[in-house]
Amino acid sequence: MSISWAIPASRFRQDFILKFLREAKGSNHSLEVRLFAPRRFYGLKPVGSRRWAAHPDLTSTAKEIAKYVAENEPIEAEIVIPDE
């Protein structure tokens, strides 16, 4: 079962990301960040995604994720850690 965390991008801060990665044991698994923007009439549409390989330095991973989200300015972002 995958572990995921979706939140409005405006609240997607590095310290929150780091806390989620630590609690989800993110250093042991690869992860994917999915970005979403509003649809014209209703809901959200996917606008991008990026994967990170498993890495023991969760602080740098959280920093990279925060930068990726900030650069793309989505309305919502989601981190998915698949069950491997």
Residues listed for the chain: 84
Fold of 3-81: Dna Ligase; domain 1 (3.30.1490)
Distance (Å) of CA 35 to CA 17, 28, 30, 54, 66: 15, 23, 17, 20, 12
More confident residue, 2 or 66: 66
Interval 11-69: pLDDT, tens: 889 999 999 999 888 668 899 999 999 988 888 999 999 999 988 999 999 999 999 99
pLDDT at 26: 66
| Calpha distance 15→24 (Å, rounded) | 14
Task: Say if strands 76-81 and 31-38 run parallel, antiparallel, or are unpaired.
Answer: antiparallel
Domain residue extents for the chain: 3-81
Q: Name which of 39, 82, 57, 25 is nearest 65 in CA terms.
A: 57
- Assigned token pair, 42: 């209703």
